[in-house]
């Protein structure tokens, strides 16, 4: 996982931060027994996913050709002298 840079993009960070804020808002209003505030927080969580997807579509996410970096590194063979 360390070799694939999974999630190390502006789109991923922005989407997760917005979703985290939404979870905090929803949690606070749930403790205060305010259903409308809870659902507003859940809308913010969904907004985080939408913003992340839009940013990825704008080119701020991980490029498609980089998805197999970890798999390509795992498939390389050792030199013949190291296999013995």
d(CA 4, CA 27): 33
What's the pLDDT at 37?
96
The tokens of 25 are what?
A: 């808002």
Rounded distance between C-alpha atoms, residue 49 and residue 72, angstroms: 29
DSSP-derived letter for residue 1 is -
Judge whether 41 and 24 are in contact, CB under 8 Å. yes
Listed as ranges, residues in the chain with pLDDT below 50 are: none
pLDDT at 76: 58
Residue 22: the pLDDT is 97
Tell me whether residue 82 is exposed, middle or buried, using C-beta atoms within 10 angstroms of its C-beta: 0 to 12, 13 to 18, 19 or more.
exposed
């Amino acid at each position: 996982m360390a070799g694939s840079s999974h999630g190390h993009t502006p789109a991923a960070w922005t989407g997760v931060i917005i979703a985290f804020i939404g979870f905090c808002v929803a949690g606070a209003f749930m403790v205060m027994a305010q259903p409308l505030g809870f659902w507003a927080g859940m809308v913010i969580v969904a907004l985080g996913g939408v913003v992340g997807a839009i940013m990825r579509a704008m080119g701020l996410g991980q490029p498609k050709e980089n998805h197999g970096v970890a798999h390509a590194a795992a498939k390389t063979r050792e030199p013949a002298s190291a296999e013995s």
